[in-house]
A and B are shown apart, each in its own frame.
Chain A
Amino acid sequence: MEKQKTIRVTNLSARYDEEVILEDISLDVYKGEILVILGGSGCGKSTLLKHMVGLSEPFAGQVYIDDVDITSCNDQDFRSTLRKIGVLFQGSALFGSMTISENVALPITEYSTLSKDSINNLVRMKLCMVDLAGYEHYLPSELSGGMKKRAGLARALALNPKILFLDEPTAGLDPVMSAEIDELIVKLNKSIGTTIVIVTHELDSIFSVAQRVIMLDKQTKGIIAQGDPKYLKEHSQNRVVRQFFNRSAKSE
């Protein structure tokens, strides 16, 4: 049986004004997998993620989520697609005027009719998952960077979306906390079958969560490798790929 494709990106080109960031990229994300997008800093990982979520309009190419082309579909389809996805932004993007619990509660109040007490309980469960219990009444500006990341993750998880996009979920976290977040990601994937697309550089995270990786490169503005990270580390023909996985400097 062929694996079901949840996201299909076909011949995508991304530009900011004149500057070409990505050129003619195609990739698939299969249902229920954890895909890691990696690559050096500034190679366009966040840009690719924004295009996959439909936040930026591509210069050329299409992005299909569950066979809906989000680059050209109508407003209603786009919204029902958005309902399926949760996004953790690189800068957390928490609303500064709301407390952490209000931030997490926002999508839940919008999309469900649970009573206020139930929502409160649910929010606390979500915060508990990311180890932020007790910080309900804090404002984002009162938290550390790593804590904001986790609060953003809790908000992205709020509705248990089918597809989760995480932009550097473990950046700025200590190793223990990173490992816990990785564990949470794997658990979500196993138990409720969430399809997860992660952008990260952390090698430990990559090896512990990724079922498949896609590596972008700044020079070629495209995908230079994809597959199993453990295999790529040992057997990739591309020097850049091996350097990345073996953490060695450029001048080798």
Chain B
Amino acid sequence: MSGFYEISEKDKGELVVHFNGRMDIESSTSILDELHSMIAQKSPALLAVNLENVTYFDDFGALVLIELKNAMTTRDSGFKIIGTQGRTKDLLSLVDFDAFEKCLLAERKRSENIIVSLGAETLTQVSNLRFLVSFVGSVFLSFLHVFRHPKSLRVNDTIACMEKTGVNALPIVGMTSFLLGLVIAFMSSLQLQQFGANIYVASLVAVAMVSELGPIMTAIVVAGRSGSAFAAEIGTMKISEEIDALVAMGFNPTLFIVVPKIIASVIVVPMLTLFADLFAVAGGLVVGVFLLDLTANAYISQTLKALTLFEVCWGMLKSVVFALLIVWIGCLRGFQTRGGADAVGNSATSAVVSSIFLIILFDSIFAVVRSFW
């Protein structure tokens, strides 16, 4: 037994607990644990607590008294507090027992009925869908507005966004594509060497990169770098009421935030893709020259022979579409953010995951369209 109290037995079935010293955060746990098991063991008909020798009492102490009282009343037994004169009275004044008990009773639970939560979930999904459609609409309207009033475009923001999304992404895009070109050339040479068709390594690298891998790799890097940043930036603005402030000042948030990002990305992502293609060809060239004994001239002329203008334009078209997808999802997730810091994190994650999925989905659609052309 801890030294926070002493128990004396008066008449039959009546226990008196004399508390002494502090009734605070340190003592309340052991008092509660011990007295609960004591009550269960002895089941007294009346429990009296004596607070005469208490030197410090705060709401942790009040918690002890309230819980003891509840334990006794659920057993149909009595409970009373004695020794509340003098100094103890001041200590108890902070604690309004009646109000506390009322609070404890007045717990309002939010309903957790399955049907209700199913309905609520459906409603959120529907409103998300509606928002998705209306967001596309508002982007279109904003673009119309920009065409009619070119001055309303925030040029500085657009240029800053081009730098962040494009220029700053160049090293990582260049590096990954170079390595990718290297790997494709090396792996395909293992097969092609058997037929003495080393020179076709150049065609393979060029075609694979320009029409497929270049746009996809670039889009995935941009989604990871910028899509998440868009979502986090707009999400933070949303939860800190900055978006509301924009609206209140008469700005259109789509025009203010989304349009610069769309314009910047649509310009910059195809350019990044072009760089990715070049770096990949350079990677293939390194393998061709150093491992396959091709001359640089032969490699380059084979590369040019393999590529058609249509192929290059097709790749650019794809990367424009991917850029649109990335910005659209990033901004959408940002605007959908509701709640606190973790909601911003979720939006950023969801923006990356959704845009990578959409990129691959649309790439498949492009492939199908092309094969039925």
Contact = CB atoms under 8 A, between A and B. Distances in A.
Interface in A59-118: 95-98, 108, 111-115, 118
A128 B99 CA distance: 8
Interface string B315-338: 000000000000000000000001
Nearest to A192: B58
Interface residues of A, number: 33
B32 A118 contact: yes
A116 B2 CA distance: 21
A187 B93 contact: yes
**Which of B93, B103, B109, B341 neighbours the largest number of chain A CB atoms within 10 Å of its CB?**
B103
A125 B57 CA distance: 15
B67 interface: yes
Q: Chain B, interface size: which category? A: 35 or more
A160 B107 contact: no
Contact of B91 (A98, A121, A192): A192
Chain A binding surface, main DSSP class: helix
A224 B28 CA distance: 45
Contact of B28 (A97, A98, A114): A114
Contacts of A160: 24-25, 58-60
Contacts, number: 96
Contacts of A139: 339-340
A28 interface: no
Contacts of B343: 96-97
A77 B94 CA distance: 31
B25 A141 contact: no
Interface stretch (A18-26, A41-49, A130-138, A212-220): A130-138
B103 A133 contact: yes
A51 interface: no
A128 B63 CA distance: 13
B66 A121 contact: yes
Given A97-B341, A118-B63, A141-B340, A192 B56 contact: yes
Interface in B55-102: 56-60, 62-63, 66-67, 90-91, 93-94, 99-100, 102
Given A96-B339, A96-B340, A134-B107, 16 more contacts: A97-B339, A97-B340, A97-B343, A114-B29, A115-B33, A125-B104, A127-B103, A134-B106, A139-B339, A140-B340, A160-B60, A188-B94, A191-B90, A191-B93, A192-B56, A192-B94
24 contacts: A95-B341, A96-B239, A96-B343, A97-B343, A113-B29, A122-B59, A122-B63, A124-B104, A126-B59, A133-B103, A134-B106, A139-B340, A159-B25, A160-B24, A160-B58, A187-B93, A190-B93, A190-B94, A191-B58, A191-B90, A192-B56, A192-B57, A192-B58, A192-B94
